[in-house]
Amino acid sequence: MVKQVYGILGDPVAHSLSPVMQNAAFTRLGMDALYLAFRVPREELEGAIRGAKSLGIAGLNVTIPLKEDALLFVEPDKLARQIGAINTVDFSTGTPMGYNTDGLGAIQALQERVGDLTGKRVLILGAGGAARAITFYLDREGAFVTLANRTVARAAQVAARLTNVHAIGLGAELKAHLTTTDVLINTTSIGMHPRAEETLVTADMLRPELVVFDIVYNPIETKLLAEARRAGVHTCINGVKMLVYQGAAAFRIWTKREPPLDVMEQAVLDALQRGP
């Protein structure tokens, strides 16, 4: 039997712990499978997806900055089409099928700590593929979402497709919104290795009762989370749980098996502790 190969496409992608996480799951379940990271520039994405299909690769994840572009080169399911971005590709039917598990992963991680999201005022930093997915799920949960992005028009495109969502910039509006926000979520790559010392929000903009969720998981304590702790924020959520939950959802799509969540999470935590 031929070994099943899976992978993640991104640029950059060396920081990704998806290979550590997914390979730990394969090992625990005794599967003859391997998950690899592939650095793919945006202009080569179509060729990479077509090539993966031709090579018999069983499934892919897609990460920054390719999630929206990848939608053009697959047959997306209804949810991914509505979101406008994918992070998972499945080749089992012959046709590259696109899915988005980011929003599900984020909502599960958030609900574990916050509970019911109905009526919560959520401020999201960024308007890329992850932001799209998370915003879509929050809208379905009945939250009121504000998207803050450097390019307001880009955020407005996302907001226009949903019910209780609107867009602002990253200037004075951002600081003003944080005074009435219940949950702050960073979906940008700011704060991610190697930009670990950067943040869009500092301690003076935060208050203790705010929930701060950074979907960046490498480093596990981002600059944003460090600023939140400095401001006395009671509930800080790192990106590990989201990584595990979205990865588990992709695992189910590819293998039709139930992934070992505890093994996947521990593999990520061990890798983060070891460092680069």
Is residue 264 within 8 A of residue 39, CB to CB? The reply is no
Contacts 24+ apart (CB under 8 A), 63-66: 63/8, 63/9, 63/10, 63/13, 63/16, 63/18, 63/87, 64/10, 64/11, 64/12, 64/128, 64/129, 64/130, 64/189, 65/10, 65/11, 65/128, 66/9, 66/10, 66/11, 66/40, 66/42, 66/129
67 is known as an active-site residue? yes
Which pair of structure tokens corresponds to residue 63?
A: 């990460």
Cis ω for the linkage preceding 276 (within 30 of 0): no
Q: Which two tokens stand for residue 152?
A: 């307001």
Taking the alpha carbons at both ends of the chain, their separation in whole angstroms is 34
**How do 59-62 and 88-90 pair as beta strands?**
antiparallel
Considering only CA atoms, which of 266, 261, 247, 240 is closest in space to residue 29?
261
Catalytic residue among 3, 53, 67, 223: 67
Secondary structure of 92-122 in HEC code, one letter for each residue: CCCCCEEECCHHHHHHHHHHHHHCCCCCCEE
Length of the chain: 276
Dihedral of CA 218/169/129/100: which sign?
Answer: positive
Residues annotated as catalytic are 67
